[in-house]
Amino acid sequence: MLIGYGGVALFFLLVIAVLEKTKQQDATFSTYATAGRSFGSFYSTMAFVNTWLPGTIFIAFAGLAAESGVIGFYYVPYSIMAAVLMFWFAKPVNRWGKRFDLRTQADLIGLRYNSKPVRMIAAIIGIIASFPWVILGMQSLGLVFTYLSFGTVSGVTAVVIGIVIIGVRQVWTVRFGMRGVVISDMVQGIFAYFIGTAVILGILVWLLMNGHGFDQVDPEFFTIPGPGSASGPMYLMSLVLTGAIGGWCWPDIFVRLFTARSTSTIKRSAAQAAPILLVFGTALTLLSILASSMPEVAAAPDNVWFIAAGVGGVGLVTIAGICVVAATMGNVGANLQALGTMTANDIIGAARQERVTDAKIGRVAVLVLTVLAAGGAFATVNISTGLITLALVSYQGICQLAPTLFLGIFWKRGNAAGAISGMIGGFATAAILQLFYPTSIPWLGGLTSGVAALIINVLLYVSCAYAFPASPRERSRVNELFAHLHEPESESPDRVVDIDPIGTRIP
């Protein structure tokens, strides 16, 4: 236990030391929220990866592969697709972000549609959908501290320890804002996914050399849902599609595009992130499938990462635990920073009809959400099942920002009416369908609730685009907005344009 807990403590101190060494005081809310749009490609890459792959990748995602086989690979192709989308988002998001001082995803959506209601609805959906995942992220460390105590600490006590640790860690997120999140993501990401990959490859070699090859795996593990299956032939496609397009709807992922120095920086980050995601995700899933032949893993699939690491003794289990802690700190920290910024910028600021300029407001918002998340995690220590259900519903719901976001960036005709009806109609449809069909919808060939709701969402959005054509003034505004995308690349922020009475920027 001294080695296990001591290892986590040393890693924690390393992250804090790096943050204190590189600290800068953010003078404005904008620099607090976007880190001054100053980071290069590798920092941006690790910030994306350390947020994209949460600590639960080693637990729930690995557990799915250990329990069900090759369907556990589904997050690998959708992660690669997300990196491709990152490449295409680079120019409009970075250019508009600089020119109009955009701080959040909802901020960009509000600019595109010139609408405060659209902006606030997008922010509310993002916060509602993300908050259960923050609480689950805090609770997920319970498994880490259970294993690292080597039988000394009970499950509930371990969860409490995990919540306290991640809560204390948030002190530096509150203080240093997005700059601190990106810098810590570098340290945490290197440990979680580079050292983690080395650990995975070592365990894979051990498994193959000690009677846990592919011939020992249940043949059912090598099948995916097809025609006649309980899940339906379109189930796997729905999982991949939901993951790919839904990923950029999460506020903590999207804000990564605002912290990069330039469009070319984001494109290089996409090219760097893809192989990291491919190698790490493939290796971890293969480990889980091979380890399924171990009796202990078959009895507790979600524990596969720690059980497999146990072949290397106390030291390897400790390193495995630090990998989960590093990934969790990155994801939870980025989430709370993004949600706090969005609360201050797109709800409080929009409601007051004023542009937030004081970084202190952002710090207070992040602090309040951190306290609420820690309180929620403590209050639900023994009832996480309901939270998991809510989180699954929220994942299908967050995808409903996709038509408003994607079509808004690449199609000039969309309008505020379509954005509002699509987001609300899609989110409500997804929530209702998820309650009745938590896995897939049989009479739709296995589509998930989120994909089915996206169909309704797109129909509403496109119908409104044609039923309520924009005024000449609005068309002129949108055309001018898109014209900025053809201006020369700049490595420094452009001027910020004026703000109209409802709090959205006008060219």
pLDDT in tens, 415-432: 999 999 999 999 999 989
pLDDT tier for residue 26 given thresholds of 50, 70 and 90: low
At residue 332, the pLDDT reads: 87
For residue 302, how many C-alpha atoms fall within 13 Å in the half-sphere facing its CB?
A: 10
Distance CA 300, CA 307 (A): 9
Is the residue at 431 inside a domain? Answer: no
Complete DSSP assignment for 234-262: THHHHHHHHHHHHHTTSHHHHTHHHHBSS
Is the residue at 472 inside a domain? Answer: no
Complete DSSP assignment for 163-176: HHHHHHHHHHHHHH
Range with lowest mean pLDDT among 330-339, 451-460, 477-486, 495-504: 495-504
Is the residue at 375 inside a domain? Answer: yes
Report pLDDT digits (tens) over 237-295: 998 998 888 888 999 888 888 999 899 999 999 999 999 999 999 999 999 999 999 99
Q: Is the pLDDT of residue 40 over 70?
A: yes
Residues with Cβ < 8 Å from 128, sequence gap 6 or more? 394, 397
* Residue 71 DSSP one-character state: G
Residue type, 130: S
Number of helical H runs and strand E runs in the chain? 24, 0
Residues with Cβ < 8 Å from 96, sequence gap 6 or more? 102, 108, 111, 481, 484
C-alpha dihedral, 5 to 6 to 11 to 15, nearest 10°: 100
At residue 163, the pLDDT reads: 84
Whole-structure pTM value:
0.88
Is the residue at 331 inside a domain? Answer: yes
Question: Shortest CA distance to 258 belongs to which of 95, 409, 62?
Answer: 95
Distance CA 300, CA 295 (A): 9
Alpha-carbon separation of residue 206 from 64, 221, 311, 320, 404 (angstroms): 21, 21, 8, 16, 48
Question: Shortest CA distance to 126 belongs to which of 108, 140, 111?
Answer: 108
Overall number of domains in the chain: 1
At residue 498, the pLDDT reads: 35
At residue 61, the pLDDT reads: 87
Report pLDDT digits (tens) over 430-486: 989 988 898 889 999 999 999 999 999 999 999 999 999 989 999 999 999 999 888
Is the residue at 205 inside a domain? Answer: yes
Residue type, 107: D
Cβ proximity of 156 and 381 under 8 Å: yes
Report pLDDT digits (tens) over 289-303: 999 999 999 998 889
At residue 431, the pLDDT reads: 86
Is the residue at 489 inside a domain? Answer: no
Give the domain extent around 264. 2-21+39-384
User: Three-state SS for 231?
Assistant: coil
Q: Show the tokens assigned to 115.
A: 């609408």
At residue 291, the pLDDT reads: 95
Cβ proximity of 95 and 492 under 8 Å: no
Higher pLDDT, 285 or 60: 285
Partners of 39 in beta bridges = 260
Cα 110 to chain centroid distance, Å, stands at 21
Percentage with pLDDT > 70 across the chain: 93
- Taking the CB of residue 69, how many other CB atoms lie within 10 A of it? 21
Q: Is the pLDDT of residue 377 over 90?
A: no
Complete DSSP assignment for 17-64: HHHHHT-----SHHHHHHGGG-B-HHHHHHHHHHHHS-GGGGTHHHHH
Percentage with pLDDT > 90 across the chain: 51
Partners of 441 in beta bridges = 447
Distance CA 125, CA 128 (A): 5
Q: Show the tokens assigned to 281.
A: 């995700």
At residue 504, the pLDDT reads: 39
Cα 356 to chain centroid distance, Å, stands at 25
Helix axes 313-342, 116-147, angle to 10 degrees: 160
Cβ proximity of 477 and 250 under 8 Å: no
pLDDT tier for residue 406 given thresholds of 50, 70 and 90: very high
Q: Tell me the Ramachandran region of residue 218: left when phi exceeds 0, alpha when psi lies from -120 to 50, beta otherwise.
A: beta
Distance CA 435, CA 437 (A): 6
Q: Is the pLDDT of residue 502 over 50?
A: no
Q: Show the tokens assigned to 46.
A: 């690790």
Q: Show the tokens assigned to 229.
A: 């299956």
Is the residue at 292 inside a domain? Answer: yes
Is the residue at 414 inside a domain? Answer: no
Q: Show the tokens assigned to 466.
A: 């044609």
Q: Is the pLDDT of residue 505 over 60?
A: no
Cβ proximity of 153 and 143 under 8 Å: no
Sign of the torsion formed by the C-alpha atoms of 74, 77, 83 and 84: negative
Report pLDDT digits (tens) over 156-194: 888 888 888 888 888 888 888 888 889 999 999 999 999
| CATH code of the domain in which 96 resides | 1.20.1730.10
| Residue 151 host element (H or E) | none
At residue 296, the pLDDT reads: 93
Question: Shortest CA distance to 407 belongs to which of 115, 109, 106?
Answer: 109
